Structure 1
Amino acid sequence: MKPFKIITLCASLLAAPALAQDEGAFVTFQVLKPEVAQRAAVAAMESCREAGYQVGVMVVDRFGLPQAFIRDRYAGLHVFETARRKAWTAVSFRTDTLSLGELTAPGEMMAGIRELSEPLALGGGLVIEASGSIVAGIGVSGAPGPDLDAQCAQAGIDAIMDDIAF
């Protein structure tokens, strides 16, 4: 009986801070300023351009709504939609889209996600985090492979890291 009381006491002490944080009627969150989102998009595009790829880049806020889009002059017509869906998918599923592609492959437990209309489980979408919280997503489309799209997206994140690291 004594170990049960100790476990109960520990559980109540650990739960108290969580309950204390939830007393208000509002939540607070952070999103990127439009200028920072645009800087990330341009940096991702320039990274791909230096490698010889013409791409489109979309940055969405933490809710999946577009904040910035840039398309290089010869990027394909499809890049707006695919970059948007990659960024949206990353924030929606809270993971990079290259990993999500593996998790949703045919025969995998989460394969049904591919049946939904919006998610795009194809590399090139990354979550942008600051202090352990999602603040945005970035999606790149147009490089010759999804792994290369992801590298350019990472370059976009790296370009703003000093701005978002607290």
Structure 2
Amino acid sequence: MQHRAKKFSTRAKAIASAAAVAAVGAGVAGAFSASADTTSAAPAAAPIAVGSEATTTSAHLTADAATRAARAALDAAEQEGQRVTVAVVDRNGNTVVTLRGDGAGPQSYESAVRKAFTAVAWNAPTSELAERLENAPNLKDIPGTLFLGGGAPVAHDDAPIAGIGVAGAPSGDLDEKFARAGVAALGDGR
């Protein structure tokens, strides 16, 4: 049994082609007219000005200052033969700069960032905060924190503006010593 393909007439081919072109054209025209129709859109609302009593201004550590602090902390560690990572975070806990020293362990990166965040969040050295865990052990459950020595806050007019975290030395005391060297590179840090 042989199947013979039916031949379409020229007229059928022309009608099918015209229908396909019309469908594509309608879709394109509809998409164009939908994106071009701005006359029915509501006018944009004008910005509303708020008074100064509704806003606040805060100081931030510059990227250059953060880099200078991180470099000072890393240099202090290298002078003592320690392989560490240094992180500087802003007041909101966002990492501004991280320097990973030659040979620093893989865990040191995240630990340095978390120590820096913890120091700025509480405006206190992380070694002091670690001591608070005895009375409030749930503090360690706060996301992003690390209550081990090695984090030092940076403050301006007694308000925290950054944190410096160091990780990788054999003790939190050494890590914190290097973090404080970073703060010292910024002046008195207070």
TM-score (norm 1): 0.80
Q: CA deviation at 1:25?
A: 1.5
* Helix, strand or coil at the partner of 2:187: helix
Count, aligned residues: 140
Asked if structure 1 preserves the Cα contact closer than 8 Å seen for 2:123 and 2:155, the reply is no
Question: Deviation digits for residues 39-74 of structure 1, max 9, x if unmatched?
Answer: 100100010000110100000001111001001111
Distance 1:78 1:57 in 2: 12
**Which aligned runs of 4 or more in structure 1 are off by greater than 4 angstroms?**
none
SS at match of 1:151: helix
Structure 2 Cα separation of the partners of residues 38 and 30 of structure 1: 17
CA contact (8 A) 2:74 2:178 kept: yes
1:140 is aligned to 166
After alignment, is 111-120 or 124-133 more displaced?
111-120
Q: Which residue of 1 aligns with 2:74?
A: 45
- What does residue 107 of structure 2 align with? 78
RMSD over aligned Cα atoms: 1.6
**What's the CA shift for 1:117?**
3.5
User: Matched residues, percent identical?
Assistant: 37
Structure 1 residue 81, shift from structure 2 partner: 0.2
**Structure 2 residue matching 1:27: 3-state secondary structure:** coil
Alignment of 1:54 onto 2:80:
no
1:124 equivalent to 2:150? Answer yes
- Which structure has the greater CA radius of gyration? 2
Q: CA deviation at 1:23?
A: 5.7
Matching residue within 91, 110, 117 for 1:88: 117
Task: Give 1:131 shift.
Answer: 2.0
Distance 2:179 2:109 in 1: 14
1:151 paired to 2:177: yes
The residue aligned with 2:39 is none
Relative CO higher for 1 or 2, CA cutoff 8 Å, sep ≥ 6? 1
SS of structure 1 residue aligned to 2:185:
helix
Structure 2 gap ranges (5+): 1-50
Which consecutive unaligned segments of at least 5 residues does structure 1 have? 1-21
